[in-house]
Structure 1
């Protein structure tokens, strides 16, 4: 069956048949990566492409995907004591941090995945392995080209890819989903926010009609007496030529003329207010403060600072976690249980110089980072003597303090 634009096969036996490509949808050769995988054609003709034309939706999707795509993605190894370090020599390190496939950089690949999670509910990438089972390429897949084949009774899952002759096992398919009710398929933000998005789209159309169909008259020029059509056109043209080219200037009226400006009435004001409400509601669905979508009406320096902290911890962190777990669970061989994939989220604070200085200062003062460690993070060359760790001299353990007090008493 087809649910939210996806082909979901729920079978009661083991499927060995060749997966068939999903039905072709009406589209041109320049389909965007948002595609039409999630269609609302049966609900008023509103689609995901229509949603992306709403400025608030576009900004939310672009902000989330860009913020995650810019973060370095590293393969790390955990030693016997639980300490993690970069595993630069592992094949997946360059694959994840530089170029997952020949067509896309890490930034483009991760951005596409996040866009699909948000807009379509599911993001897919096929893992290409060498003869030893090492991942050598991550092939991005458009969601509408993937068939989710779920055997409900057996609890088995496989994937069909358009053009592939055999089903793909879950271990070779990266399947990213954030919101799901069955653990098998993801549901997009747009599906849950359909009512709000449709109302917002209708409001935008109404506002466009208001401003384009003669409802945005600046005023009325009244002339005493009867005028012919030719005289009306001459007065209108001469007035527009003299005063409307720049929108400013001093108008000179003849004795029988009177200019009356038109004010926006209460109903028109409510239309504009509803657009503001729609932005707030869309921001709520995406888990983003309206400030980040361009609404600065209630912002201040303190609220912007709190907004950024909320964005990092409540909006981005869940996405980072789900990507890290999916990569870590499927990219490595069964014997490589000590390997994991992690984002370096320290880059998120590098634009805030005050927060960055405080961050490095605290780590340096407790001996967690050396001067050269900090310089390396900042892209600066190492210096002589910069590998020494330093700690505050006025700090000590409770045991030492108690021991010294006992000696003083004796």
Structure 2
């Protein structure tokens, strides 16, 4: 019996008569989206976790950071250098347009969201007659299943646009695995950190209900006499209609028949509500390896350490993701004969750019020591080239011993 039939039978009128067809909440959660119920009672899945602001921010930071970095296809040179392989069809796919519908930015952003939330990113590879990649169509990870062939190679089964299932060869799939891979698949950080995320979602839900019910917890109405059941219920309904909710906040309370209102003042700070939310925000940011200041936690951020935190984010968070992408691109999107000549690499120079003064000082040292020429600096700064800017400078005290350790004496004019 398929899982759709199990759900249908579980909610049918005869479900109570046949215990074999009934399913638990945990079974249902796994079936509809790979999620599960945390100990807080909150259902946590990649979709529901995105409604929790800290998870949403972390995934956005990772996805938009990766997508904003240009992915360049290079051709290796004999001298050890590299040139942009603009004549290869894969160059445009990675840099400009993934396919007729998705730009390169949209493709990387969407696939990175799947990687960060579900642990896997998939795309269908469109190739030309030479076997070169000419397009990438992103696939939703949830319906993709992987099995092994007799030679240990993976076999992929995906859902096509017409809702039919098809088996694809490894050469037809671009698969990026997330952290802590288990077999042929990566593992979802949301699934592994379900309890921490569920606790954060529960705290956020608690805050929402607290505001909906009037910002403060319910108080007590004291009546000098004794009220019957219907009178108590009518009083509760009338009081809630007039005084609960944000729209009624601040209204004066009018009481009759000698009644008194006594608030049960449990301050959220006393209940450690605010501290709990801060802790969960920091903990979840650490799970995704996103610096605290990028999830709006600025308690320990200063003007002097923000730049170092950003550098730490590039080195310890972004770089592992970029390596996964680069090596999966080289494996899946280049033919075996092309891998020795071509390779893909993300440009992270823009993230490493300091402030204007620091950049200019660094450029000046690079030009003075012959590392760059002025035109190379102008390209980095998105400026047009100038005449005479291709010449490399060499300090007069840095000439080789064969030239006497100093600049050669220019010949005198005849």
Q: Same fold (TM over 0.5)?
A: yes
- Which secondary structure does the structure 1 equivalent of 2:168 belong to? coil
Mapping of residues 251-290 of structure 1, within 5 Å: 265=267, 268-290=270-292
The offset of 1:274, in angstroms, is 0.5
Deviations 1:70-119 (A, max 9, x none): 11111101112221111111111111100011111111100011111010
- Structure 2: which 5+ runs fail to align? 3-31, 221-234, 252-261, 407-414
The offset of 1:144, in angstroms, is 2.0
Mapping of residues 95-244 of structure 1, within 5 Å: 95-151=93-149, 154-163=151-160, 167-216=167-216
The offset of 1:401, in angstroms, is 10
Change (3 A) 1:355 1:54: farther
Flag the structure with more relative contact order, 1 or 2, with Cα contacts below 8 A and sequence separation at least 6: 1
Indicate which of 349, 355, 359 corresponds to 1:346.
349
Indicate which of 384, 387, 391 corresponds to 2:390.
387
Does the 8 Å CA contact 2:175/2:332 hold for their aligned counterparts?
no
The offset of 1:354, in angstroms, is 4.3
The offset of 1:199, in angstroms, is 0.7
1:24 maps to which residue? none
Does the 8 Å CA contact 2:54/2:285 hold for their aligned counterparts?
yes
Please say if 1:39 is aligned against 2:35: yes
2:76 maps to which residue? 78
Does the 8 Å CA contact 1:129/1:135 hold for their aligned counterparts?
yes
- Which secondary structure does the structure 2 equivalent of 1:145 belong to? coil
Tell me the distance in 1 between the aligned counterparts of 2:165 and 2:293: 49
CA RMSD across the alignment: 4.0
2:223 maps to which residue? none
Tell me the distance in 2 between the aligned counterparts of 1:115 and 1:216: 37
Deviations 1:131-152 (A, max 9, x none): 111111111111123221224x
Mapping of residues 296-375 of structure 1, within 5 Å: 296-336=298-338, 337-350=340-353, 352-375=355-378
Does the 8 Å CA contact 1:54/1:201 hold for their aligned counterparts?
yes
Bigger mean CA deviation after superposition, 326-335 or 64-73: 326-335
The offset of 1:329, in angstroms, is 1.9
The offset of 1:341, in angstroms, is 0.7
Tell me the distance in 2 between the aligned counterparts of 1:69 and 1:78: 24
Deviations 1:3-44 (A, max 9, x none): xxxxxxxxxxxxxxxxxxxxxxxxxxxxxxxxx753225874
1:292 maps to which residue? 294
Change (3 A) 1:381 1:261: farther
- Structure 1: which 5+ runs fail to align? 3-35, 221-228, 246-259, 405-410
The offset of 1:359, in angstroms, is 4.6
2:410 maps to which residue? none
Change (3 A) 1:266 1:329: closer
- Which secondary structure does the structure 2 equivalent of 1:143 belong to? coil
Change (3 A) 1:49 1:359: farther
* TM-score, normalised via structure 2 length: 0.74
1:225 maps to which residue? none
